[in-house]
Amino acid sequence: MGQPTDTVKYILPEDKIPAAWYNIQADLPAPVPPVLHPGTGQPITPADLAPLFPAAIIEQEVSQERWIEIPSPVRSIYRQWRPAPLYRARRLEKALDTPAKIYYKYEGVSPAGSHKPNTAVPQAYYSAIEGVKRLTTETGAGQWGSSLAFAGALFNLEIHVYMVKVSYQQKPYRRALMEAYGARVVASPSGETNAGREILKQHPDSTGSLGIAISEAVEIAAQDDSTKYALGSVLNHVLLHQTVIGLESLAQLELAGDYPDIIIGCTGGGSNFAGIAFPFMGAQLRGETPPVRFVAVEPAACPTLTKGKYAYDYGDTAHLTPLVKMHTLGSSFVPQGIHAGGLRYHGMAPLLSHIVELGLIEPRAHTQLDCFAAGVAFARTEGIMPAPEANHAVKAAIDEALRCKEEGTSKTVLFNLCGHGHFDMQAYIDYQAGKLRDTEYSAEEVAMALAGLPAVG
């Protein structure tokens, strides 16, 4: 039975935390193209991944099973903030004068303030039980880095974070949070790695990118048997862990007596979008539910899905990673230093890219100023200040609600508010002062980067 029609917040009890993650690969009509070894060009094996990831993570990365059990120690930690609330945005609806119903899943209630601990905790858990002592990683805006630092503190792991330099400079409080949790944070590109030194030799004033930071983190992990690498987005196991978002949303919308017509998430590497969308998409693929439009929103300054090429490419700038087939702007492309640092990645999750190619997802891109305007409008009605990344989903949700107003139709819109902006206030200060600028991606730089795509037979 649904809750009263004026309900704003839908809460699930702790015993409704999902017991298993959902793996959409079990329901896809066509398999994802294989990941290739950069040296041989052949599909990689679990042994190829062993220097970087613990065994359980590798098993999840290649699994085709529909449901993968969440270990009880992980579920126990999830209880600190999960199930996360689902809100009906009634005040925003009223301000827009729209017949649409807008719901948002709020992941900013986690200790780190975003959806990222959903995967940081299991990655740290699996590493700890395998005897790993240290994890290296990259981070853009710092949401992933702070989440892994939090998880590392819980499992007594040393955490070493390479933070994209422009975000390192823009977001000192996110860096301070990582250090408070016990992590070591280094601006990337740095002089600590061969990859970083090579970039600095060519571009001494480089603002960095996620691709560069990944290269540095992978290089360090590969040199030490007691160190593994942890990734906050892109790979299959990361998207898998995030499906707790959508699984909870399914149950909460049942409480509301509603079901979405449109599901929206921002996309950088693809994890938070996959987290909210995949459980609904899987139900649709199995023929259990009515059709839903899935909208993936990215920054116009780094339009991977909307203007990138679907091709095999490296996941990092120094070409230390395997080759994955994904939408890419080229591994050497360095996006402009927009404040949505978590969306400044040259590629996209191979699984998500594949599903876009299947025609199941509508990608779109928005400019920085439009997204900040949407975020401020949301804060003034709903009271939550979104992270710059989440503003992209807010913008798309508002657009869909206004379309309903123009057409005189009532649609149910669900979006993932993947994190709060409390550590991003300088971005809002700059926006209010008129200092932010819209930056389009450089077509010339992308063309140069795409010219360097690896040759794959």
What's the mean pLDDT in 334-360? Answer: 85
Task: For residue range 382-393, list pLDDT tens digits in order.
Answer: 999 999 999 999
Task: For residue range 391-409, list pLDDT tens digits in order.
Answer: 999 999 999 999 999 999 9
Q: How confident is the model at residue 210 (pLDDT cuts 50, 70, 90)?
A: confident
Instruction: Report the pLDDT value the prediction gives residue 342, as an integer from 0 to 100.
Output: 66
Helix/strand/coil for 51: coil
What is the rounded CA–CA span in Å between residue 56 and residue 48?
A: 14
Task: For residue range 161-192, list pLDDT tens digits in order.
Answer: 999 998 899 889 999 999 999 999 999 999 99
Q: Is the pLDDT of residue 340 over 70?
A: no
Task: For residue range 257-283, list pLDDT tens digits in order.
Answer: 999 999 999 999 999 999 999 999 999
Q: Which of 375, 389, 390 is nearest to 432 (CA)?
A: 375
Instruction: Report the pLDDT value the prediction gives residue 449, as an integer from 0 to 100.
Output: 85
Q: List the single range of 89-103, 132-146, 199-213, 340-354 with lowest mean pLDDT.
A: 340-354
Q: How confident is the model at residue 337 (pLDDT cuts 50, 70, 90)?
A: low
Burial of 25 (0-12, 13-18, 19+ CB in 10 A): buried
Distances (CA, A) of 40 to 235, 318, 332, 350: 21, 18, 22, 20
Q: Is the pLDDT of residue 1 over 80?
A: no
Q: List the single range of 52-61, 207-216, 336-345, 448-457 with lowest mean pLDDT.
A: 336-345
Burial of 416 (0-12, 13-18, 19+ CB in 10 A): buried
Q: Compute the mean pLDDT over every residue in the chain, rounded to the nearest whole number.
A: 93
pTM over 0.85: yes
Instruction: Report the pLDDT value the prediction gives residue 344, as an integer from 0 to 100.
Output: 74
What is the rounded CA–CA span in Å between residue 347 and residue 271?
A: 13
Q: List the single range of 49-58, 93-102, 331-340, 379-388 with lowest mean pLDDT.
A: 331-340
Burial of 34 (0-12, 13-18, 19+ CB in 10 A): middle
Q: How confident is the model at residue 38 (pLDDT cuts 50, 70, 90)?
A: confident
Instruction: Report the pLDDT value the prediction gives residue 334, as an integer from 0 to 100.
Output: 80
Amino acid at 374: A
Q: List the single range of 123-132, 315-324, 335-344, 377-386 with lowest mean pLDDT.
A: 335-344
Positive or negative CA dihedral for 287, 289, 292, 297? negative
Q: Is the pLDDT of residue 4 over 70?
A: no
What's the mean pLDDT in 15-22? Answer: 97
Instruction: Report the pLDDT value the prediction gives residue 167, as an integer from 0 to 100.
Output: 87
Amino acid at 85: P
What is the rounded CA–CA span in Å between residue 249 and residue 125?
A: 25
Instruction: Report the pLDDT value the prediction gives residue 5, as an integer from 0 to 100.
Output: 55
